[in-house]
Amino acid sequence: MASSDVKPKSVSRAKKWSEEIENLYRFQQAGYRDEIEYKQVKQVSMVDRWPETGYVKKLQRRDNTFYYYNKQRECDDKEVHKVKMYAY
């Protein structure tokens, strides 16, 4: 295990929508815990984001296909409780 491998210490579920929850939702749809894991696995330094909103714009899944996201909110209120928040 490399020293750059960061493992979460705890996990909790989201209760209310926020911009942070929106981005976590997008990472988790693509198969990653969060931005930290995405950067480790894909060996990238930056994530494509919409300049207007700051939301994630495009993510590459582990099977090398891409997810493209809209500028607007995509995580509906009924989906918020599915988002996991990791603490390091």
pLDDT digits (tens, 9 = 90+) for 4-55: 677 899 999 999 999 999 999 999 999 999 999 999 999 999 999 999 999 9
The amino acid present at 33, given as its one-letter code, is R
The tokens describing 41, both together, are: 């696995």
Q: How confident is the model at residue 74 (pLDDT cuts 50, 70, 90)?
A: very high
- H or E segment and range at residue 26: helix 19-29
Question: Rounded to whole angstroms, what are the CA distances from 57 to 28, 48, 67, 83?
Answer: 14, 5, 8, 18
pLDDT of residue 53: 94
Predicted TM-score (pTM) above 0.75: yes
